[in-house]
Amino acid sequence: MKSKLEMYELPLFPLNVVLFPGMPLPLHIFEERYKEMMADCIREGQPFGIIHLEESIDDGTPMIGDITVGCTAEIAQVQPLDQGRMLIMAIGRERFRVVEFNHDKPYLVGLVTPAPLDIENEVAEQEQVEGLEPLMIEYLNKLAIVGNVDVEAHQIPSDPEALIYMAATLIQLPTADKQAFLALDRASDLTRMLQRSYRQELSLMQTIPSQDIGIFSLN
Protein backbone atom coordinates (compact mmCIF):
# COMPACT_ATOMS: atom_id res chain seq x y z
CA MET A 1 0.00 0.00 0.00
CA LYS A 2 1.30 3.44 -0.91
CA SER A 3 1.78 6.27 1.59
CA LYS A 4 -1.28 8.47 2.11
CA LEU A 5 0.72 11.51 0.97
CA GLU A 6 2.35 9.88 -2.05
CA MET A 7 1.05 10.99 -5.46
CA TYR A 8 1.37 8.76 -8.49
CA GLU A 9 -0.05 8.35 -12.00
CA LEU A 10 -2.84 5.81 -12.38
CA PRO A 11 -4.63 4.72 -15.58
CA LEU A 12 -8.34 5.36 -15.09
CA PHE A 13 -11.26 3.30 -16.39
CA PRO A 14 -14.53 5.27 -16.08
CA LEU A 15 -17.46 2.88 -15.66
CA ASN A 16 -21.06 3.04 -14.52
CA VAL A 17 -20.09 0.94 -11.52
CA VAL A 18 -18.59 1.68 -8.11
CA LEU A 19 -15.72 -0.56 -7.03
CA PHE A 20 -14.89 -1.11 -3.36
CA PRO A 21 -11.73 -2.63 -1.84
CA GLY A 22 -12.02 -6.42 -1.85
CA MET A 23 -14.75 -6.46 -4.51
CA PRO A 24 -14.23 -8.67 -7.61
CA LEU A 25 -14.98 -7.05 -10.95
CA PRO A 26 -15.14 -9.03 -14.22
CA LEU A 27 -14.56 -6.93 -17.34
CA HIS A 28 -14.75 -7.55 -21.08
CA ILE A 29 -12.13 -5.32 -22.70
CA PHE A 30 -12.91 -4.54 -26.34
CA GLU A 31 -12.40 -0.80 -26.97
CA GLU A 32 -8.99 0.03 -28.46
CA ARG A 33 -8.05 2.56 -25.78
CA TYR A 34 -8.81 0.12 -22.98
CA LYS A 35 -7.03 -2.73 -24.75
CA GLU A 36 -3.99 -0.45 -24.78
CA MET A 37 -4.52 0.45 -21.12
CA MET A 38 -4.71 -3.19 -20.03
CA ALA A 39 -1.68 -4.11 -22.12
CA ASP A 40 0.27 -1.30 -20.42
CA CYS A 41 -0.90 -2.38 -16.94
CA ILE A 42 -0.07 -6.04 -17.56
CA ARG A 43 3.35 -5.22 -18.99
CA GLU A 44 4.23 -2.88 -16.13
CA GLY A 45 2.57 -4.95 -13.40
CA GLN A 46 0.52 -2.00 -12.21
CA PRO A 47 -3.13 -1.57 -11.20
CA PHE A 48 -5.65 0.71 -12.85
CA GLY A 49 -8.36 2.80 -11.24
CA ILE A 50 -12.13 2.50 -11.51
CA ILE A 51 -13.90 5.83 -11.28
CA HIS A 52 -17.66 6.25 -11.52
CA LEU A 53 -18.80 7.39 -14.96
CA GLU A 54 -21.72 9.80 -14.83
CA GLU A 55 -22.28 9.97 -18.60
CA SER A 56 -20.54 10.02 -21.97
CA ILE A 57 -20.76 12.57 -24.75
CA ASP A 58 -21.48 11.53 -28.34
CA ASP A 59 -17.88 10.64 -29.25
CA GLY A 60 -17.59 8.30 -26.26
CA THR A 61 -15.47 10.65 -24.17
CA PRO A 62 -16.21 9.93 -20.50
CA MET A 63 -17.79 12.69 -18.43
CA ILE A 64 -16.60 12.30 -14.84
CA GLY A 65 -18.28 15.40 -13.44
CA ASP A 66 -17.19 16.25 -9.91
CA ILE A 67 -16.27 12.69 -8.96
CA THR A 68 -12.68 12.43 -7.72
CA VAL A 69 -12.74 9.35 -5.48
CA GLY A 70 -12.27 5.88 -6.94
CA CYS A 71 -10.76 2.50 -6.16
CA THR A 72 -7.67 0.83 -7.58
CA ALA A 73 -8.16 -2.50 -9.35
CA GLU A 74 -5.54 -5.24 -9.45
CA ILE A 75 -5.63 -7.55 -12.46
CA ALA A 76 -5.99 -11.07 -11.06
CA GLN A 77 -6.79 -13.10 -14.19
CA VAL A 78 -6.62 -12.49 -17.94
CA GLN A 79 -8.26 -14.53 -20.69
CA PRO A 80 -7.14 -13.40 -24.17
CA LEU A 81 -9.76 -13.38 -26.92
CA ASP A 82 -9.59 -12.74 -30.64
CA GLN A 83 -8.84 -9.29 -32.10
CA GLY A 84 -6.95 -8.26 -28.98
CA ARG A 85 -10.04 -8.41 -26.78
CA MET A 86 -9.75 -9.93 -23.33
CA LEU A 87 -11.72 -10.99 -20.31
CA ILE A 88 -10.15 -9.92 -17.05
CA MET A 89 -10.97 -10.41 -13.40
CA ALA A 90 -9.93 -7.45 -11.29
CA ILE A 91 -10.01 -7.06 -7.51
CA GLY A 92 -10.59 -3.75 -5.74
CA ARG A 93 -7.63 -2.79 -3.57
CA GLU A 94 -7.58 0.76 -2.16
CA ARG A 95 -9.38 4.08 -2.34
CA PHE A 96 -7.73 6.95 -4.14
CA ARG A 97 -8.46 10.60 -4.71
CA VAL A 98 -7.76 12.25 -8.08
CA VAL A 99 -5.69 15.42 -7.86
CA GLU A 100 -5.51 16.04 -11.60
CA PHE A 101 -6.75 14.41 -14.81
CA ASN A 102 -4.40 13.89 -17.77
CA HIS A 103 -5.80 13.41 -21.29
CA ASP A 104 -2.49 13.01 -23.15
CA LYS A 105 -2.88 9.26 -23.72
CA PRO A 106 -5.68 7.49 -25.60
CA TYR A 107 -7.09 6.56 -22.18
CA LEU A 108 -7.63 8.72 -19.12
CA VAL A 109 -4.84 9.00 -16.55
CA GLY A 110 -5.08 10.55 -13.11
CA LEU A 111 -2.51 11.98 -10.76
CA VAL A 112 -3.85 10.41 -7.58
CA THR A 113 -3.12 10.10 -3.90
CA PRO A 114 -4.12 7.14 -1.71
CA ALA A 115 -7.20 7.78 0.44
CA PRO A 116 -7.40 4.99 3.03
CA LEU A 117 -10.48 4.80 5.20
CA ASP A 118 -9.92 6.74 8.42
CA ILE A 119 -10.60 4.59 11.49
CA GLU A 120 -10.40 7.11 14.33
CA ASN A 121 -11.20 4.78 17.24
CA GLU A 122 -10.77 1.06 16.65
CA VAL A 123 -12.79 0.01 19.70
CA ALA A 124 -15.73 2.28 18.84
CA GLU A 125 -15.59 1.24 15.19
CA GLN A 126 -15.64 -2.45 16.14
CA GLU A 127 -18.80 -1.82 18.15
CA GLN A 128 -20.41 -0.03 15.19
CA VAL A 129 -19.47 -2.85 12.84
CA GLU A 130 -20.98 -5.37 15.24
CA GLY A 131 -24.24 -3.46 14.79
CA LEU A 132 -23.90 -3.52 10.98
CA GLU A 133 -23.14 -7.23 10.59
CA PRO A 134 -26.55 -8.62 11.68
CA LEU A 135 -28.33 -6.13 9.40
CA MET A 136 -26.26 -7.31 6.44
CA ILE A 137 -26.87 -10.97 7.27
CA GLU A 138 -30.64 -10.43 7.63
CA TYR A 139 -30.67 -8.57 4.30
CA LEU A 140 -28.74 -11.34 2.53
CA ASN A 141 -31.01 -14.01 3.97
CA LYS A 142 -34.06 -12.19 2.62
CA LEU A 143 -32.47 -11.89 -0.82
CA ALA A 144 -31.58 -15.58 -0.72
CA ILE A 145 -35.27 -16.43 -0.40
CA VAL A 146 -35.93 -15.06 -3.88
CA GLY A 147 -32.66 -16.34 -5.33
CA ASN A 148 -30.97 -12.96 -5.78
CA VAL A 149 -27.86 -13.91 -3.82
CA ASP A 150 -26.06 -17.04 -2.66
CA VAL A 151 -25.51 -16.40 1.05
CA GLU A 152 -23.17 -19.38 1.38
CA ALA A 153 -20.83 -17.80 -1.18
CA HIS A 154 -20.15 -14.87 1.14
CA GLN A 155 -17.92 -15.45 4.14
CA ILE A 156 -18.22 -12.65 6.67
CA PRO A 157 -14.73 -11.21 7.29
CA SER A 158 -13.48 -10.56 10.81
CA ASP A 159 -11.60 -7.40 9.83
CA PRO A 160 -13.88 -4.36 10.41
CA GLU A 161 -12.79 -2.47 7.29
CA ALA A 162 -13.26 -5.54 5.09
CA LEU A 163 -16.73 -6.10 6.55
CA ILE A 164 -17.70 -2.46 5.97
CA TYR A 165 -16.69 -2.66 2.31
CA MET A 166 -18.45 -6.01 1.90
CA ALA A 167 -21.62 -4.40 3.24
CA ALA A 168 -21.21 -1.50 0.80
CA THR A 169 -20.68 -3.94 -2.07
CA LEU A 170 -23.60 -6.27 -1.35
CA ILE A 171 -26.44 -3.83 -0.73
CA GLN A 172 -28.34 -3.34 -3.98
CA LEU A 173 -28.64 0.41 -4.48
CA PRO A 174 -28.15 2.85 -7.38
CA THR A 175 -24.55 3.65 -8.27
CA ALA A 176 -24.96 7.25 -7.11
CA ASP A 177 -25.64 5.94 -3.60
CA LYS A 178 -22.67 3.59 -3.84
CA GLN A 179 -20.43 6.46 -4.90
CA ALA A 180 -21.61 8.42 -1.87
CA PHE A 181 -20.46 5.48 0.28
CA LEU A 182 -17.06 5.36 -1.41
CA ALA A 183 -16.55 9.11 -1.05
CA LEU A 184 -16.82 9.03 2.75
CA ASP A 185 -13.43 9.36 4.42
CA ARG A 186 -14.29 8.23 7.95
CA ALA A 187 -15.21 4.65 8.78
CA SER A 188 -17.67 5.82 11.43
CA ASP A 189 -19.60 7.92 8.89
CA LEU A 190 -19.66 5.09 6.36
CA THR A 191 -20.81 2.54 8.93
CA ARG A 192 -23.65 4.79 10.09
CA MET A 193 -24.78 5.44 6.52
CA LEU A 194 -24.70 1.72 5.74
CA GLN A 195 -26.71 0.88 8.85
CA ARG A 196 -29.32 3.45 7.86
CA SER A 197 -29.45 2.11 4.28
CA TYR A 198 -29.79 -1.51 5.39
CA ARG A 199 -32.59 -0.61 7.81
CA GLN A 200 -34.42 1.24 5.02
CA GLU A 201 -34.05 -1.69 2.64
CA LEU A 202 -35.17 -4.18 5.28
CA SER A 203 -38.18 -2.02 6.08
CA LEU A 204 -39.06 -1.90 2.38
CA MET A 205 -38.79 -5.68 2.16
CA GLN A 206 -41.40 -6.00 4.91
CA THR A 207 -43.98 -4.08 2.86
CA ILE A 208 -43.87 -6.08 -0.38
CA PRO A 209 -44.50 -9.75 -1.26
CA SER A 210 -41.36 -11.90 -1.02
CA GLN A 211 -41.51 -12.78 -4.72
CA ASP A 212 -41.24 -9.07 -5.56
CA ILE A 213 -38.31 -8.25 -3.28
CA GLY A 214 -35.79 -8.60 -6.07
CA ILE A 215 -37.72 -6.24 -8.32
CA PHE A 216 -37.83 -3.44 -5.77
CA SER A 217 -34.32 -3.90 -4.37
CA LEU A 218 -32.32 -4.01 -7.56
CA ASN A 219 -30.91 -0.95 -9.32
pLDDT classification of 205: cutoffs 50, 70, 90: confident
Between CA 93 and CA 190 the distance in angstroms is 17
Average pLDDT, stretch 184-209?
A: 91
Does residue 210 surpass a pLDDT of 90? no
What whole-number percentage of the chain has pLDDT above 90?
69
pTM: 0.86
The SS3 call for residue 34 is helix
Compute the half-sphere exposure of residue 169: CA atoms within 13 Å on the CB side of its CA. Answer: 19
User: Is 1.10.287.3510 the CATH number for 8-114?
Assistant: no
The predicted pLDDT at position 219 comes to 33
The predicted pLDDT at position 156 comes to 85
For residue 10, give Cα distances in angstroms to 66, 97, 105, 190.
18, 11, 12, 25
The SS3 call for residue 207 is helix
17-49 confidence digits (pLDDT tens): 999 999 999 999 999 999 999 999 999 999 999
Tell me if 95 sits within 8 A of 182, measured CB to CB: yes
Domain chopping of the chain, boundaries = 8-114, 122-217
